[in-house]
Structure 1
């Protein structure tokens, strides 16, 4: 088994892939992509992901690997391929659908809310910061209510749904979105951080 994760260390999308690798106890070579230098838009990288985005996972020999682009797709692949007990991606149709629902939230409200707000403050992205903070607040209100009823997003054990939402939620303060109003979310973050194999994403700002 040879796993290679092409990533940017401050990307929450890349971190969720790295986090699941560690939670599964999988070793992978971490290959940093120079986003500021435009490496992700060069032909060599575009051959791995035509959208020119990190992360990209390669599994297998360098001359003929399985290539998986998109962070949520990587989570599904890793959980399906390497988690024999299917703890992280349940087989049960109802639970599998619930996981997919949260993956859609990760690609939707989480990306346009906390992630977008962080892009503005850290990377000067030309996005509407006020709108992003409003989307984040609305998302966190729903998430807070949901986590008041259970320890993890789908049932009583962590799944890739939790992994998908963790990084940008934990780092929302870097985008000017405080977590102080949301005790159940903060408790959920703590439960994820207590999991064996947890690895943090580097922090770049003082938490709000």
Structure 2
């Protein structure tokens, strides 16, 4: 049973927490997936990066001018991996997403470091010229580097189903999934060369937290890549002047949308 199959019957609402995010960002989607996997709800504020809202004075709390940003009372965190491990330890330390024992936890953290130190830089190198410099394609050297990462991930999955120490997706899988699903848009994973990685990504795509937190933003990113330039995001009818909404509202809206088209 996946992590999403063990949800609590009552969602945990954290009105004192706010997450600033952009759905097209894999780092933001990693946090959103973790929230949904833990059944946590906080205030979410959508930031339009095309209009450079992430560089506005309102978000001066992050000197790096990046997303996501989490504010929990007086605490401010600006890295998706730090945000996710904090949320797990602070609000949902059941051991399902992050083991309690030091050895098991270190294995998960090892994969988080791989994602932040290896995978995400490859995403930025390949995607940013398209997102911000009007480049129309993924450069050949970046294709090679991404495929090299695929090969490494393929070898890591030998003898295992998930990028964790358990028989269900953990925090390592969630963070890597946000990045790999985005890389897959730019450089599709060859099923014949990377069968384990391809199967793993398919299993992740069937998790409820993937559907509610990753699919929409991934679609927005795909449109940008296909068009070769930044496109205006369509405003959802449930957004009120780009103001905050809860994670519960986002999840329920996404489920309702996908039910209409027969996905759920």
- Relative to the length of structure 1, the TM-score reads 0.85
Paired position in structure 2 for 1:69? 78
Paired position in structure 1 for 2:98? 89
Q: Deviations over 1:123-174 (max 9, x none)?
A: 4378x83333222111110111221321111222322111111012112233
Match of 2:182 among 171, 182, 196: 171
TM-superposed deviation, 1:111: 1.4
| Whole-Å separation in 2 of the counterparts to 1:188 and 1:15 | 18
Matched, 1:185 2:194: no
| Whole-Å separation in 2 of the counterparts to 1:102 and 1:190 | 19
Match of 2:155 among 123, 134, 145: 145
**Ranges in structure 2 where 5+ consecutive residues have no aligned partner:** 1-13, 227-264
- Relative to the length of structure 2, the TM-score reads 0.69
Paired position in structure 2 for 1:161? 172
TM-superposed deviation, 1:29: 2.5
Contact 2:162 2:168 in 1 (8 A): yes
Q: Deviations over 1:77-124 (max 9, x none)?
A: 111112231211112222211112111111121112244323333443
Paired position in structure 1 for 2:35? 21
| Whole-Å separation in 1 of the counterparts to 2:141 and 2:50 | 25
Q: Deviations over 1:11-52 (max 9, x none)?
A: 0011000110111111233211122222222222022x1211
3-state SS, counterpart of residue 197 of structure 2: helix
**Ranges in structure 1 where 5+ consecutive residues have no aligned partner:** none
Contact 1:24 1:197 in 2 (8 A): no
Q: How many residues align?
A: 201
- Between Structure 1 and Structure 2, whose CA radius of gyration is higher? 2
Matched, 1:8 2:19: no
Which structure ranks higher in relative contact order (CA pairs < 8 Å, sequence separation ≥ 6)?
Answer: 2
Contact 1:116 1:129 in 2 (8 A): no
| Whole-Å separation in 1 of the counterparts to 2:87 and 2:202 | 23
| Whole-Å separation in 2 of the counterparts to 1:137 and 1:197 | 26
Paired position in structure 2 for 1:40? 54
Matching of residues 101-112 of structure 1 within 5 Å: 101-112=110-121
Runs of 4+ deviating beyond 4 Å: none
TM-superposed deviation, 1:72: 0.6
Matching of residues 40-59 of structure 1 within 5 Å: 40-47=54-61, 49-59=62-72
